[in-house]
Structure 1
Amino acid sequence: MTKNVVEKIDDLVKIKTILVSVSDKSGLATFIPGLLGINPDITILSTGGTYSKIKEILGADAENSLKQVSDYTGQPETQGGLVKTLDFKIYLGLLTETYNPAHQDDLKRTHALPIDMVVVNLYPFTQTIAKENVSLENARGNIDIGGPTMIRAAAKNFIRVAAVVEPESYDGILACLNAKDGALGLNDRYSLASKAFAHTAQYDRAIADYLTGRSKEDVESCYKTGEM
């Protein structure tokens, strides 16, 4: 299999399309209006409770800027929000490279948007397992799949995409965007990528440690098993 080798990129990438899906919604009330204040034409893709929160923050302006991921992809969320963002159009938008003609053709073919920034933080797994008498099933339900996948895709493609994983980064990002006419530079995106991979590594480590620490009895007592 021949792998694509990227030789040309843009240093400054203007943020035009962002995908926001967060468990911790702190800071959004300042960050989202701040982004639109810098570039009123930004398109915001979002899901579930995050979509509702941003719609509340933006009020009437939401109609022009905010779009449900399910409307964008054409695929409704599954029961309980189990599958929301795991879609070809999303990952094409995250992984596409600016100077790759095949990628650009794929964007046109699927009517997909290149996504320039992902703002994601994860299901509260460590907070859940810290609670008294938490069950294995409660813990399992708080293992995030779509979030880490989006973060990793965005961070891998730091040559074009910004991966934002913590509200503490919002003010610095707005400052960078203000200073660079709505764009982030390569060094900005690279720094965010390193934070993003550290974030997912810590998350996976917490899950692995928790599961390793459960006994056979813990597992068997949590579920009723049937016979095939």
Structure 2
Amino acid sequence: MRALLSVYDKTGILELARGLHDLGWDLVSSGGTARAIRDEGIPVADTAEITGFPAILGHRVVTLHPKIHGGILADRSNAHHVAEMADYGIEAIDLVVGNLYPFGADPDAFDHGGGGAEDLIDIGGPAMVRAAAKNHAHVGVVVDPGDYDGVLAELRADGALSDATRRRLARAAFAHTAAYDAAVVAWFDEADDPILPPTLHLSATREPRELRYGE
């Protein structure tokens, strides 16, 4: 079994990586996540070892490669997919762990005239998360560090994640990328400064918050 780990929020990622390694999983990662895992003494392959390409274009292209996305998106029950994976040397990826930079969290990075914010728009991360969520029949996807313990517990007990767990995690993954895209849209709206933008993009969570009187 193989897991791809690439996270902005590294809360609990080393414990998860250690737990997966102890279960016999192979780990793949890139950038700061790979360094953190490697520094902990946990074996991890860099994505460049898988793809044969280093990160290019100022790290705009790191994981956008058939050997990554083919491994995530392949339907293991489809004989044609399995044959193509063999033909092109693509190994399956069974778990994707990823979360995204909180776009808009640092106001100093969001000078509408300076162009810095565009460099903070993540492309590869959402693509991997969405690919895994799309293929949740075969792949687990985890975007919330709060799910790490439960995922490890289920893997230890059952050897795999249940269909229900993968579906629940996929739903959370799509919610995560939707909230990210909504933040990017809000940045564009703020730059254009309309009285009312042509469309509204809302993202809600179930996390409790304290309301003011009358709300």
Answer whether TM exceeds 0.5 for this pair.
yes
Aligned length: 191
Deviating 4+ runs (over 6 angstroms):
none
Residue of 26, 43, 46 corresponding to 1:43: 26
Distance 2:93 2:163 in 1: 16
- Matched residue, 1:139: 117
More helix as a share of residues: 1
Could you tell me which amino acid in structure 1 is paired with residue 84 of structure 2? D
Q: Deviations over 1:37-94 (max 9, x none)?
A: 2x22x1111111111011012x1x42xxx11101111111104211100001111111
> For the Cα contact (< 8 Å) 1:48–1:81, is it kept in 2?
no
Q: Which residue of structure 1 aligns with residue 213 of structure 2?
A: none
Change (3 A) 1:211 1:56: same
Partners of 2:102 and 2:180 within 8 A in 1: no
Partner of 1:30: 15
CA-CA distance at 1:166 after TM superposition = 1.4
Give me the TM-score of the superposition, normalised by structure 2.
0.84
Ranked by relative contact order (alpha carbons within 8 Å, sequence separation 6 or more), the top structure is: 1
For residue 44 of structure 1, what is the amino acid of its counterpart? L
- Structure 1 gap ranges (5+): 1-15, 217-228
CA contact (8 A) 2:104 2:187 kept: no
Which residue number in structure 1 is paired with residue 73 of structure 2? 95
Amino acid at match of 1:210: W
Report if aligned partners of 2:12, 2:148 keep a CA contact under 8 Å in 1: yes
The CA distance in 2 between the partners of 1:132 and 1:115, in whole Å, is 37
- In structure 1, distance between residues paired with 2:10 and 2:170: 21
**Native 8 Å contact 1:124 1:142 kept in 2:** no
Q: Where do 5+ consecutive residues of structure 2 fail to align?
A: 194-215
SS at match of 2:58: helix
Identity %: 40
Give the whole-Å Cα distance in 1 for the aligned partners of 2:26 and 2:14: 17
- Tell me the CA shift for residue 132 of structure 1: 4.7
Deviation, structure 1 residue 123? 2.1
Q: Which moved more, 1:146-155 or 1:77-86?
A: 77-86
TM-score (norm 1): 0.80
How far did residue 124 of structure 1 move?
2.7
